[in-house]
Amino acid sequence: MSTETSSPEGTVALAAELAGRLVPGDVVLVSGELGSGKTTFVRGACRALGVEGPVTSPTFTIGHVLIGRVEIAHLDLYRLGSLAGEDPALLEDYLTPERVGFVEWPEVGDPAFGRVAARVRLEHAGGDRRRVVVA
């Protein structure tokens, strides 16, 4: 599915739609350049899953665990390169079968993610417009 949003709210709404189909154990890979809206998308999905607190990209760790109606693991692997030598089990520690997982910069880790429920790609399309492809 490919669509275009014209505001962060549009991307949030799209993410909420996807979130309604997610069950524990599902992992959603979210790709796209810096500022394309990956975290905005994850925030929208997390809100729809009942998370009320802040949803921000993890910076000093590779992941956060958030509590909504389900447990959610939110990973950002951008810095994984600088975590060379890190045990791959680190990812498994976050992406448990009991949680819904969202992974920003999944290419960086390129691990064997568990059940990938969706691959989301965001692209700048001029101003506040973003092309969002969900596969």
Ligand X SMILES: Nc1ncnc2c1ncn2[C@@H]1O[C@H](COP(=O)(O)OP(=O)(O)O)[C@@H](O)[C@H]1O
Q: Which of 27, 39, 45, 48 binds Mg ion (CB under 5 A)?
A: 39
What stretch of H or E contains 58? none
> Distance between CA 16 and CA 108 in Å, rounded?
26
- Beta strands 115-124 and 130-134 are antiparallel
Could you tell me how many residues make up the chain? 135
- The item of Mg ion, ligand X, none sharing an interface with residue 3, based on CB under 5 to 8 Å by kind, is none
* Site residues (CB under 6 A) for ligand X, limited to 52-111: 57, 104
Q: Closer to ligand X by CB, 59 or 92: give it.
A: 59
Give the x/- contact pattern for ligand X in 9-38, rule: CB under 6 A: -xx--------------------x-xxxxx
| Token pair recorded at residue 24 | 């524990």
Q: Closer to ligand X by CB, 8 or 114: give it.
A: 8
8 A C-beta contact, residue 97 and residue 114: yes
Name the minimum Å distance from CB 123 to ligand X.
Answer: 10
- The item of ligand X, Mg ion, none sharing an interface with residue 26, based on CB under 5 to 8 Å by kind, is none
Is position 57 an interface residue for Mg ion (rule: CB under 5 A)?
yes
Sheet holding 130-134, edge to edge: 2-5, 130-134, 115-124, 26-32, 99-104, 71-76, 63-67
Q: Which residues bind ligand X (CB under 6 A)?
A: 5-8, 10-11, 32, 34-40, 57, 104, 128, 130
